[in-house]
Amino acid sequence: MFTGIIEEVGEVAAISRSGDSAVLTVRATRVVDDVVHGASIAVNGVCLTVVGWGEPTDGTVGLDFDVMGETLARSVIGGLAVGDRVNLERAVRADARLDGHVVQGHVDGTGTVVSRTPGDAWEAVRFSVPPELARFLAEKGSVAVDGVSLTVSGVGPDWFEVGLIPETLRATTLGGRQPGDAVNLEADVLAKYVARLMETK
């Protein structure tokens, strides 16, 4: 379980493919403080399990994650390359504040950046959304984009919009995303459960 409040931006050090799976290595500084084998870390919003790590180099540690074919197919993890920056968040502690919203790290699909509109001290960013996910989005509702907890400011039949404050632009990879870039999307888990209940009523 995560909050969508990004702790740091890491860098892809390696991605080694083998058949329909891969081992992803991400260099980080902060999320490695209390790392243990089997720990859950959200990488661009995808919950991955730490399977190993290397010795510190230049103040960073390379964390290794096994990535299965399902994750490579359903998220933008499969398109990562060495040098790419990724949002990182450790699993939430039971004794900590839940500052964002409940994020599972179970990506529902991907979208793309459609447009960016600068404001005085913030920026409106529009994303495309697949039809099967659009029904879970509502104005003033929550969504996770590349693992970042955001509030939906507008919705359309195949898009949604969010407002990014300077801190989000600075502290996450969303500040550098450009039109056409792919992003991971996770809808609010409550919306998914309500929709499922209505379908089976």
pLDDT, position 93: 85
Residue with tokens 């490579």: 72
Distance CA 144, CA 152 (A): 10
CATH class of 8-90: mainly beta
In this structure, what token pair is assigned to residue 55? Answer: 């010795």
Distance CA 18, CA 144 (A): 29
Residue, of 97 and 157, whose pLDDT is higher: 157
pLDDT, position 198: 86
Distance CA 166, CA 65 (A): 31
pLDDT of residue 26 exceeding 90, the answer is: yes
Q: Give 81-104 pLDDT, tens digit per residue.
A: 999 999 999 999 888 777 888 888
Distance CA 193, CA 165 (A): 30
Confidence of residue 156 (pLDDT cuts 50, 70, 90): very high
| CATH pick for 109-199 out of 2.40.30.20, 3.40.640.10, 2.40.50.140, 3.30.1050.10 | 2.40.30.20
**80 burial level (CB within 10 Å; 0-12, 13-18, 19+):** buried
Burial state string for 96-116 with b = 16 or more CB within 10 A and e = fewer than 16: eeeebbbbbbbbbebbbbbee
* Boundaries of every domain in the chain: 8-90, 109-199
Q: How far is CA 91 from CA 38, 41, 44, 65, 180, in A?
A: 11, 6, 13, 15, 30
Q: Three-state SS for 134?
A: helix
Per the CB < 8 A criterion, the answer to whether 67 and 54 are in contact is no
Q: How far is CA 8 from CA 44, 70, 132, 162, 172, in A?
A: 11, 26, 31, 21, 7
Q: Give 45-66 pLDDT, tens digit per residue.
A: 999 999 999 888 888 999 999 9
Task: Calculate ∠ Cα 22-24-27, nearest 5°.
Answer: 170
Q: How many residues does the chain have?
A: 201
Task: Name the H helices within 143-188.
Answer: 166-171
Q: Could you tell me which of 53, 84, 68 has the C-alpha nearest to residue 22?
A: 68
